[in-house]
Chains A and B, each alone.
Chain A
Amino acid sequence: MKRFAIWSWLWFALGALYFLLPLYGTLDFSLRMQRGTLSLLAYQKALADPQFIRSFTFSVQMAVLTIIVGLLLIVPTAYWVHLRLPELRPVVEFLTLLPFVIPAIVLVFGLIRTYGRPVTILSVTIMPPLTNTTLGANSLLIAGYVVLSMPYLYRAVDNGLRAMDVRTLTEAAQSLGAGWPTIVARVIFPNLRAALLSGALLTFAIVVGELTIANFLARPAFAPYLALLSNSRAYEPAALSIVSFALTWAAMGIIDLLTRGAPGVLGGAGH
């Protein structure tokens, strides 16, 4: 028993080092802007830049919108597949794994090519090029992010649905007189809170750190700003990386706090 514990701790320590060492390295570098001493000079300079706040806020907004759109799309789909079309489950799972296969750069170029020109049916323009307007470009960004986060969101929702015996709960609600909107709002969503939370957290982390799509759609997101800054500066990008890391953790903590105390998280439908 003791021997086994030592090995476990060893692997844990190695894994932790793998993650913590680079972080420590970045932290250490960011504190050395002033020659000879450890100081927060890099932080002061970086945070004083209004572009930082603007780009980080923009990324957070995009993350929240991505989560909302993604959930509105995936939850009813996963629910319907679970309830009525279980044969389609493998097909849908395959589709949601495609984003892993298609690189982000291919995705963004596809978006730009398709929506960079007006959409016409029989020479009638029904949609102008989306890349020309801010709203259009932001929509493309969110659409791209929804695709990128789809594997994680779908898997999280699917697991949540599996754990809660969707079919029987739906039938119970129906026998008591509930219609579809009531069932989804009062029975399905509340019991999926834990699953939705984990999907949302992953999506948040992905969106805030995403570079390729934001870059090519020329959106003022955080990752492009950081990349641009690191072309001309050394210490400030390190400081900003640490700050964004901390901010992302804080945002996740807030989401977790808001959804804590959901009793639906514990136990299934009574087995």
Chain B
Amino acid sequence: MTFLELIKVRKEFGPSLAVEDFDLQVERGEFVSFLGPSGCGKTTTLRMIAGFELPTSGAIRLNGADITNKPPNQRNVGMVFQAYALFPNMTVAENIGFGMKIKKQPADKIRKRVGELLDLIHLPDKGPNYPYQLSGGQQQRVALARALAIEPQVLLLDEPLSALDAKIRDELRSEIRRIQQQLGITTIYVTHDQQEAMALSDRVVVMSRGVIEQIGAPFEIYNYPQTMFVASFVGTLNQLRCQVVDATSGRLAYDGQSITTGTAIGPSNGATVTLMLRPEELRFGADGGDNRLTGQVEAVNFLGSTVRVLVRLGESTLTLDVFNERKLELPKVGQNYTVSFPPHACWVMPEP
């Protein structure tokens, strides 16, 4: 059952259009990410759900009720900001209990709930401390607890991990997901980090320039992108401009070499299409699948667990990722190399 619904939401700031034709249905307990580059409208949309911006047109419904024009302090949504926004003049416990205090709940009830939440975020002793005494990661956890204390209908997070270092970010990421699943709370998460979006979400909404490009599960978005933008924004993408040799059997030609996609493709024979390949589906040598392309090694980047090799094929450069192992013999720059891949690794963009 749809819990949160955005219907044809549109937001204009004077002459510029920030969000256009935004349609989304979110189930209760679902974790949805808004993913896109800066300026794509994801934060604006989140702020409209929170009530800090009013849509120019369209409607937002939460649990059946129309909240499009409701003031933010009446919506019962919990919000976590990138800058934490903890009240510096209050202790951690007072920060968490703030929302409940406003609702005039009894003191012992507040104390109990604050204690539960401090346990939930693994900071049981930090109640009497002030925000300036905590690290960035700890402050963000307190911000999360504060948003959850009021038992909101929806939890909104606006790039909450962007201000933290990589290691803390990874830890906190798992924490957020764990807590969200434990409480079963409907969550909207805004980020420009695709790894974050894919690791956390049930579904991802990929946005660009105010418009939704694709909505789907992380696996779907990554492996079956519906637009050029989604394909290149999410993950690394190899693009080869090929000629269609036989549309029914899905045969293409690149630089004189033949490629089989295994499935029928839309464009007719002789047309030019872009073939997309993910680096991790390509293999060294001739044993990786029916398709083989030969080129010259241009660069070898050892990244630790993966080795990223750039192979020049005609006018394009192919990137392929190989898992590291001790017995691996790294290719040399300038060496001739064969890259192979199975037919199902091929993805030809569907006609617009």
- Chain B residues positioned under 8 Å from A270 (CB to CB): 83-86, 88, 131-132, 136, 139
Number of residue pairs across A and B with beta carbons under 8 Å? 96
In the complex, A264 Cα to B51 Cα: how many Å? 28
Give residues of chain B (132-173) contacting chain A, Cβ–Cβ below 8 Å: 132, 136, 139, 143, 146-147, 150, 156, 163
Q: B89 contacts A262, CB within 8 Å?
A: yes
User: Cβ of A165 < 8 Å from any Cβ of B?
Assistant: yes
**Which chain A residue shows the least CB distance to B71?**
A174
In the complex, A186 Cα to B90 Cα: how many Å? 9
- Among B24-32, B74-82, B323-331, the one that faces the other chain is B74-82
In the complex, A247 Cα to B26 Cα: how many Å? 66
User: Nearest chain B CB to A265's CB is how many angstroms away?
Assistant: 9
Q: B83 contacts A175, CB within 8 Å?
A: no
- Chain A residues positioned under 8 Å from B73 (CB to CB): 174-179
Known: A169-B87, A176-B150. A266 touches B132 (CB 8 A): yes
Task: Indicate which residue in B51, B71, B79, B139 contacts A172 across the interface (CB closer than 8 Å).
Answer: B79
**Which chain B residue shows the least CB distance to A168?**
B85
**By CB atoms of chain A within 10 A, which of B77, B102, B147, B150 has the most?**
B102
Known: A171-B79, A263-B132, A267-B131. A176 touches B85 (CB 8 A): no
Q: B85 contacts A165, CB within 8 Å?
A: yes
| Chain B interface size, under 10 / 10 to 19 / 20 to 34 / 35 or more | 35 or more
Give residues of chain A (216-271) contacting chain B, Cβ–Cβ below 8 Å: 262-264, 266-271
In the complex, A176 Cα to B103 Cα: how many Å? 9
Task: Indicate which residue in A171, A182, A263, A264 contacts B81 across the interface (CB closer than 8 Å).
Answer: A171
Known: A173-B98, A175-B72. A263 touches B84 (CB 8 A): no
User: Cβ of B114 < 8 Å from any Cβ of A?
Assistant: no
Q: B89 contacts A171, CB within 8 Å?
A: no
User: Cβ of B224 < 8 Å from any Cβ of A?
Assistant: no
User: Cβ of B219 < 8 Å from any Cβ of A?
Assistant: no
- Chain B residues positioned under 8 Å from A268 (CB to CB): 88
**Which chain A residue shows the least CB distance to B77?**
A175
**By CB atoms of chain A within 10 A, which of B77, B87, B147, B150 has the most?**
B87
- Chain A residues positioned under 8 Å from B86 (CB to CB): 172, 269-270
- Chain A residues positioned under 8 Å from B156 (CB to CB): 175
- Chain B residues positioned under 8 Å from A264 (CB to CB): 88-89
Q: A171 contacts B52, CB within 8 Å?
A: yes
Task: Indicate which residue in A191, A262, A271 contacts B87 across the interface (CB closer than 8 Å).
Answer: A191
Q: What are 7 A-B residue pairs whose CB atoms fall within 8 Å in the complex?
A: A172-B86, A175-B72, A176-B98, A176-B150, A264-B89, A267-B131, A270-B83
**Among all A-B residue pairs, the 10 with the closest Cβ atoms:** A264-B89, A267-B132, A176-B99, A270-B84, A190-B89, A172-B85, A175-B79, A174-B72, A168-B85, A174-B73
Q: Which residues of B contact A (CB under 8 A)?
A: 50-52, 71-79, 81, 83-89, 98-99, 102-103, 130-132, 136, 139, 143, 146-147, 150, 156, 163
Q: Which residues of A contact B (CB under 8 A)?
A: 164-165, 168-169, 171-179, 182, 186-187, 190-191, 193, 262-264, 266-271
